[in-house]
Amino acid sequence: MQTPEHSIQAAKNNPDAPPRRKKILAIQYSQTGQLAAVMDALLAPLAQAARDGRVDMHREILRHAPGHEYPYPWPLWRFMDTFPETVAGDPPPLAPLSTELRNAADFDLVIIGYPVWFLSPPPALTAFLRGGEARGLLRNRPVVTVTACRNMWLMAQEKVKELLRETDARHCDHVALTDRGNAFATFITTPRWLLTGRKNGFWGLPPAGVPAENIAACSRFGFALLAALGRDAERHASETAPLLSGLRACAVDSRLIASERIGIRSFRVWSKILRASGRPGAPLRRAALFLYTVFLLAMIVTIVPASMFIKTLLRPLLRAKLARLKHCYEQPSGSGAERLSLFSSSQPNP
């Protein structure tokens, strides 16, 4: 297999040879197309560089094997019944990766985009990262992760980081985009979007999804990655040497940290109970899932507002701890904005 180290050695042995073009792999899963639009915007500067012959880029779209796809819009029951296996990390099979990808391995930079499902990576990404081919593609490669979701991505990203560690990838950056509305508004607009396919605003609530201007502004990350490749920074990129710092790549809302940490624990318990009650669609599992749905709704109308009230009271006492956690979850790329002016979409100036 040709590694970047081999190429560098070959260039040293033959200084007149043209420098090897950097190879970028972009992998994504997107159901409604939102994450796909984010990746299009982020990758646009790299795609232009590929058209100009300055880099090579391969884009891989993850798809489930025929007969295992998820529906969109979602029937409510199917949506709920997808929860146990998604949280347990037990995904349905993927369609085979493209032949082009299976024949290539020596990528200089890998960018992985995914939405969040039930505070977890979506099944397609879990299937890819747990599959036999991921290690060959990602081992010792710098990996940038990108997510676009309603507002809760911390626990999913922790899981993705764990899966990346198992492939020996070098995770170096994370970009996170969230919906425009507040938690109350998106609690209504996101399920409405997923269950009916309607994204528009109504009754004074904003449209569901990440705003178009925030998606378009993702080109700054593509410009920054292109500049990093130009100075070979990807060779040393790591959790402590990110490529996208100072670009407001991921800002954590500290009000949601406790909800996510409590939520994933509860999800894991219920995922085990529901899986123990049968396979998707089995009669006992349907009964258990019905109970869980009632439990969840009861929690949402009682415990969630009560815990929000308690959290507001405790916030002054927890301020230091929350600030520490916010900083931790924002790594590697962070929420600083000091390099924003260098990489605006209209005027890249690396």
Ligand X SMILES: Cc1cc2nc3c(=O)[nH]c(=O)nc-3n(C[C@H](O)[C@H](O)[C@H](O)COP(=O)(O)O)c2cc1C
Interface residues with ligand X (CB under 6 A) are 30-35, 79, 82, 115-119, 148-153, 190, 194
Candidates 263, 298, 304, 308; CA nearest to 83 is 263
Nearest distance from C-beta of residue 317 to ligand X, angstroms: 27
Of 59 and 150, which has the nearer Cβ to ligand X?
A: 150
Candidates 205, 130, 119, 194; CA nearest to 162 is 130
**Contact (CB, 8 A) for 223 and 348:** yes
Of 33 and 281, which has the nearer Cβ to ligand X?
A: 33
Nearest distance from C-beta of residue 249 to ligand X, angstroms: 17
Residues 6+ apart with CB under 8 A from 240: 332
In the chain, what are the helix, strand and coil shares in percent, each to the nearest 5? 50, 15, 35
Of 42 and 49, which has the nearer Cβ to ligand X?
A: 42
Helix axes 257-276, 283-301, angle to 10 degrees: 160
Of 4 and 122, which has the nearer Cβ to ligand X?
A: 122
Number of Cα atoms under 13 Å in the Cβ half of residue 76: 6
Residue type, 295: F
Nearest distance from C-beta of residue 32 to ligand X, angstroms: 3
Of 153 and 223, which has the nearer Cβ to ligand X?
A: 153
Nearest distance from C-beta of residue 71 to ligand X, angstroms: 10
- Across the chain, the runs of DSSP E, i.e. the strands, are 22-28, 55-61, 109-114, 142-149, 170-178, 343-344, 347-348
Nearest distance from C-beta of residue 194 to ligand X, angstroms: 5
Cα separation, 137 vs 214, in Å, equals 30
Nearest distance from C-beta of residue 113 to ligand X, angstroms: 8
Of 61 and 273, which has the nearer Cβ to ligand X?
A: 61
Nearest distance from C-beta of residue 169 to ligand X, angstroms: 22
- DSSP letter for each residue of 53-105: TSEEEEEEE--BPTT-PPPSSPPHHHHHHTHHHHHHT-PPPBPPPPHHHHT--
**Contact (CB, 8 A) for 31 and 64:** no
Of 48 and 335, which has the nearer Cβ to ligand X?
A: 335
